[in-house]
């Protein structure tokens, strides 16, 4: 019987909206099975399609995520300043295009007012409680951030603290963060 190739694991991405600021933070770990391949990957990017700032964080296959980021950027250029419409169009393409259907990634995107999770199942979700998280440590980061939302901490501090908690629990998440704010 052939040995199954171990899957790529890793990544925790969180988006936090608080007091008029939105922060997207991601860890830097990429793992192959039980091995850390890289600890300093950048999984959160600032995009400027059509002069409008958008931050995107991705979890899943890196090549697939870059394909989705390029597609998102094209959708944003076609619909300047309309993040929701661009995300819905991307999700529709992702769900119906045979090539895109095979992509294994998820996105958290924001333009500073809206915050969305975009999935290959055709979902464009606006999270409750102003917190979204994806990836292997996403549930840990989400729970931690939701618990911290009523504190005096600002959006960046909530995101950093939640990511630290996720990194302490999830073996596929580390503390090397990329943090972007809008």
Question: Does residue 145 belong to any structural domain of this protein?
Answer: yes
Give the Cβ contact number of residue 94 at 10 Å.
24
Give the Cβ contact number of residue 135 at 10 Å.
28
Q: What is the pLDDT of residue 166?
A: 98
Question: Does residue 179 belong to any structural domain of this protein?
Answer: no
DSSP E strands in the chain: the ranges are: 8-9, 12-18, 21-26, 30-32, 35-38, 44-47, 54-60, 105-110, 115-118, 124-125, 131-135, 178-181
The rounded distance, in Å, linking the Cα atoms of 110 and 41 is 20
Average pLDDT of the chain is 90
Q: What is the pLDDT of residue 99?
A: 67
List, for residues 82-130, the tens digit of each pLDDT value: 999 999 999 988 888 776 677 778 899 999 999 999 987 889 999 999 9
- pLDDT higher than threshold 50 for residue 5: no
Question: Does residue 144 belong to any structural domain of this protein?
Answer: yes
| Sign (positive or negative) of CA dihedral 140, 53, 60, 103 | positive
The rounded distance, in Å, linking the Cα atoms of 94 and 118 is 10
Q: What is the pLDDT of residue 53?
A: 94
Domain count, the chain: 1
Q: What is the pLDDT of residue 50?
A: 79
Name the pLDDT band for 3 (thresholds 50, 70, 90): very low
pTM exceeds cut of 0.85 = yes
Give the Cβ contact number of residue 179 at 10 Å.
16
Q: What is the pLDDT of residue 76?
A: 94
Question: Does residue 141 belong to any structural domain of this protein?
Answer: yes
Average pLDDT of the segment spanning 73-83 = 93
Question: Does residue 32 belong to any structural domain of this protein?
Answer: yes
Any idea which residues carry the catalytic annotation?
11
Question: Does residue 180 belong to any structural domain of this protein?
Answer: no
SS (H, E, C) 94-135: HHHCHHHHCCCEEEEEECCCCEEEECCCCCEECCHHHEEEEE
Name the pLDDT band for 9 (thresholds 50, 70, 90): low
Length of the chain (residues) = 182
Q: Which domain holds residue 58?
A: 8-173
For residue 141, give the CATH number of its domain.
3.60.20.10
For residues 50 and 80, is the Cβ–Cβ distance under 8 A? yes
Average pLDDT of the segment spanning 5-9 = 49
**Alpha carbon distances (Å) from 1 to 4, 143:** 9, 40
Question: Does residue 83 belong to any structural domain of this protein?
Answer: yes
Question: Does residue 178 belong to any structural domain of this protein?
Answer: no
- Helices 138-148 and 155-169, axial angle in degrees (round to 10): 140
């Amino acid at each position: 019987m052939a040995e199954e190739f171990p899957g790529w694991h890793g990544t925790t991405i969180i988006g936090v909206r608080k007091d008029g600021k939105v922060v997207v933070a991601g860890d830097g770990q990429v793992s192959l099975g039980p091995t850390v391949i890289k600890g300093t990957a950048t999984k959160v990017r600032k995009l400027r399609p059509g002069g409008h700032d958008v931050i995107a964080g991705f979890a899943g296959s890196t090549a697939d995520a870059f394909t989705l980021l390029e597609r998102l950027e094209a959708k944003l250029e076609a619909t300047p300043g309309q993040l929701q419409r661009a995300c819905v169009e991307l999700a529709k393409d992702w769900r119906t295009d045979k090539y895109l259907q095979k992509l294994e990634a998820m996105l958290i995107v924001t333009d500073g007012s809206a915050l969305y999770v975009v999935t290959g199942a055709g979902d464009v979700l606006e999270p409750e409680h102003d917190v979204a998280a994806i990836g292997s440590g996403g549930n840990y980061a989400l729970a931690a951030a939701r618990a911290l939302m009523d504190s005096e901490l600002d959006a960046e501090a909530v995101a950093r603290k939640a990511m630290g908690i996720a990194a302490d629990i999830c073996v596929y998440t580390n503390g090397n963060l990329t943090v972007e704010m809008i």
